[in-house]
């Protein structure tokens, strides 16, 4: 099969399109013919060797994969060749204290597609059957590939970790990104008033079409001052943060008293100082969020099926153009996901 492989950590030029052996389905595994594979900023960190996950080259990137089962190994039940499936990011043990209490995103022995297996920048992928989620026929391949991490992460952050309720006001940072634009769509369904930030007016206009009520251009406007103006100096109930650096501090300063900040990322700065005094006097909370549960993903697939949310696909590239696709993502000019089709 064809696959995009890197043999050393580095920039775009380490990506090579190669002919490699077809993966085989071991016990409990299936092989999927990949139909679509979405790009993630995490892929850049993995390629550069700064992801803080234990990955050694040679490696095939790609954690958001959709395809059709082409082969099933021994001990696989419920899946047949031809079945359409999404690869759930995690394969959890189902047995640790977190799995047993409905918190599988905290599983102590998770397997991750694209980390503990090879990834989706390829024509085929072998994964444990425990990774598979059934995909309804009326969600197209590209949209399904674009859905998982953006929407399920946003669901876990907004509703499970952030406890967003109807009538609350939420600040969503970087609404042009995958997790940002998904959060706008889900917070709209959840009945929240949505204030969003972005680096360009164009991205703010696109987010407004998805249901964002107020936009702030963080390059030209003071985010905290604008939030306070829009909320009668109260601040927001929930800040949805995934950017890090200065964006983390401005989100924290935008909270009302007893407000919550939920965070899942830090590309713009992983270590930040923050002012402890107003934080505890205002009885604010900072909440960490990591991945999502299968149930949350399945709810998001249902919302895409019913048309209540629309996974955004910015551009589809053939596998051969993986470098161009990653370059586009790294320029951060896109609105929605970039998807590879083998």
Which residues contact Zn ion (rule: CB under 5 A)?
A: 92-93, 96, 99, 107
Q: Which is nearer to Zn ion, 53 or 274 (CB)?
A: 53
DSSP 132-183: EEE--TTS-HHHHHHHIIIIIHHHIIIIIIS---TT-EEEES-TTSHHHHHH
* 3-class DSSP state of 331: helix
Least distance to Zn ion, CB of residue 117, Å: 17
Within 8 A by CB and 6+ apart from 300, the residues are 147, 148, 151, 152, 155, 186, 309
Least distance to Zn ion, CB of residue 91, Å: 10
> In this structure, what token pair is assigned to residue 174?
């970087």
DSSP 209-226: HTT-SEEEETTTS-HHHH
Least distance to Zn ion, CB of residue 99, Å: 3
Q: Which is nearer to Zn ion, 106 or 268 (CB)?
A: 106
Taking the CB of residue 188, how many other CB atoms lie within 10 A of it?
Answer: 17
> In this structure, what token pair is assigned to residue 130?
């425990």
Q: Which is nearer to Zn ion, 111 or 140 (CB)?
A: 111
Within 8 A by CB and 6+ apart from 118, the residues are 3, 23, 59, 60, 125, 126
DSSP element (H, E) containing 184: helix 178-189
Locate tokens 């551009």: which residue? 315
CA distance 174 to 193: 16
Q: Which is nearer to Zn ion, 294 or 310 (CB)?
A: 294
Q: Which is nearer to Zn ion, 9 or 98 (CB)?
A: 98
Q: Which is nearer to Zn ion, 93 or 266 (CB)?
A: 93
Sign of the CA dihedral running 272, 273, 278, 284: positive
Least distance to Zn ion, CB of residue 106, Å: 8
Least distance to Zn ion, CB of residue 132, Å: 18
DSSP element (H, E) containing 251: helix 246-253
Q: Which is nearer to Zn ion, 93 or 126 (CB)?
A: 93
CA distance 150 to 240: 13
* 3-class DSSP state of 126: strand
Least distance to Zn ion, CB of residue 108, Å: 6
DSSP 282-303: TT-EEEE--S--HHHHHHHHHH
Least distance to Zn ion, CB of residue 133, Å: 17
Least distance to Zn ion, CB of residue 220, Å: 46
DSSP code, position 270: S
Q: Which is nearer to Zn ion, 95 or 205 (CB)?
A: 95
Least distance to Zn ion, CB of residue 112, Å: 13
Q: Which is nearer to Zn ion, 97 or 257 (CB)?
A: 97
Contact status, residue 194 vs residue 187, Cβ threshold 8 Å: yes
């Amino acid at each position: 099969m064809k696959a995009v492989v890197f043999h050393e950590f580095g920039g775009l030029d380490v990506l090579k399109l190669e002919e490699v052996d077809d993966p085989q389905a071991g016990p409990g595994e299936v092989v999927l013919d990949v139909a679509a594979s979405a790009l993630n900023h995490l892929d850049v960190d993995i390629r550069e060797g700064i992801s803080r996950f234990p990955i050694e080259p040679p490696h095939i990137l790609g954690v958001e994969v959709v395809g059709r089962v082409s082969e099933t190994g021994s001990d696989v039940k419920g899946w047949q060749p031809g079945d359409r499936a999404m690869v759930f990011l995690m394969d959890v043990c189902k047995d640790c204290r977190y799995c047993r209490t409905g918190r599988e995103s905290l599983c102590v022995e998770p397997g991750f597609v694209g980390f503990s297996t090879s990834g989706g920048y390829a024509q085929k992928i072998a994964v444990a059957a425990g990774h598979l989620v059934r995909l309804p026929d009326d969600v197209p391949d590209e949209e399904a590939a674009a859905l998982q991490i953006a929407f399920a992460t946003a669901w876990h952050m907004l509703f499970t970790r952030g406890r967003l309720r109807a009538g609350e006001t939420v600040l969503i940072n970087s609404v042009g990104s995958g997790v940002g634009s998904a959060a706008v769509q889900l917070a709209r369904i959840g009945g929240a008033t949505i204030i969003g930030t972005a680096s360009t007016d164009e991205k703010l206009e696109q987010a407004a079409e998805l249901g964002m009520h107020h936009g702030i251009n963080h390059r030209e406007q003071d985010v905290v001052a604008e939030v306070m103006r829009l909320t009668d100096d109260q601040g927001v109930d929930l800040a949805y943060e995934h950017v890090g650096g200065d964006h983390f501090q401005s989100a924290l300063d935008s909270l009302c008293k007893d407000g919550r900040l939920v965070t899942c990322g830090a590309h713009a700065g992983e270590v930040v100082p923050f002012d402890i005094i107003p934080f505890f006097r205002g009885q604010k909370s900072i909440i960490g969020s990591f991945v999502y549960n299968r149930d949350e993903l399945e709810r998001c697939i249902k919302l895409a099926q019913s048309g209540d949310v629309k996974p955004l696909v910015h551009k589809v590239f053939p596998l051969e153009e993986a470098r161009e696709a990653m370059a586009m993502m790294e320029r951060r000019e896109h609105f929605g996901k970039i998807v590879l089709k083998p």
